[in-house]
């Protein structure tokens, strides 16, 4: 295991961008999954890249091993990463995975918007108008 030879502070600095907050409403394992997914989607963690071992990441983030394990298991069931027994976990080599994840995210946001729209009592047309307005604002920026 290459990770165990590195000092704890070396590992810390490698993963210092990943921040787990205990005051965040979302559970720790979800935060970890999101941050890993974000890096994969952005391309910082390309297909085939080896993920840190569960224990190394746990030590780097000062988060329990069981939480990291859970995050990795769920990421694997989503198909985002692949675990090879005895070898480690790797970013899944699936084309268009980034795009898939982004589309899932879009659907989530749209569902939330639809829910709020309903609460406000907006009609389908009113909601669509607002979406178009948001797109135009993006273009201007």
Partner 1 sequence: MTQTKLIEMRNVRKAFRFFTLEDLSLDLEPGQIMGFVGPNGAGKSTTIHLMTGLLTPDAGEIRVLGHAMPEAQALAKRDIGFVSDQMRLFGHATFGWHMKFVSSIYPGWDAQYAKTLVKRFNLRPEQNVRSLSSGEHVKAVLLLALARRPRLLILDEPTSGLDPVARHELLTEFMDVLRHEDRSILFSSHNTVDVERISDRITFIDRGRMVDSSDKEDFLERWRRVQLQLPAGATLPDLPHIVSRVDDGQFVTITTNRYSEDLLAFLGNGVRQVQRMSLEEIFVANVMYHRELRGQ
Binding residues (CB under 8 A) for partner 1: these are 3-4, 8, 12, 22, 25, 27-29, 55-56, 58-59, 62-67, 70
Q: How far is the CB of 39 from partner 1 (least distance, A)?
A: 21
Q: How far is the CB of 25 from partner 1 (least distance, A)?
A: 7
Nearer to partner 1, 63 or 97 (CB): 63
The SS3 call for residue 101 is: helix
Nearer to partner 1, 29 or 45 (CB): 29
Q: How far is the CB of 20 from partner 1 (least distance, A)?
A: 8
Residues sharing a CB contact under 8 Å with residue 32, sequence separation 6 or more, in sequence order: 18, 20, 61, 63, 67, 68, 71
Q: Which residues pair with 82 in a beta bridge?
A: 90
Beta strands in the chain (DSSP E): 81-84, 88-91
């Amino acid at each position: 295991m290459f990770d165990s030879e590195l000092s704890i502070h070396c590992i810390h600095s490698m993963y210092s961008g990943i921040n787990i907050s205990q005051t965040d409403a979302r559970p720790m394992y979800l935060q970890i999954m999101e941050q890993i997914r974000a890096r994969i989607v952005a391309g910082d963690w390309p297909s085939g890249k080896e993920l840190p071992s569960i224990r190394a990441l746990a030590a780097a983030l000062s988060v329990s091993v069981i939480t990291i394990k859970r995050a990795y298991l769920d990421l694997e069931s989503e198909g985002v990463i692949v675990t090879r027994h005895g070898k480690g976990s790797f970013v899944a080599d699936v084309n268009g995975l980034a795009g898939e994840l982004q589309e899932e995210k879009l659907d989530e946001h749209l569902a939330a918007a639809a829910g709020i729209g309903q609460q406000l009592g907006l009609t389908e047309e009113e909601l669509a108008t607002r979406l178009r307005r948001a797109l135009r604002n993006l273009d201007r920026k």
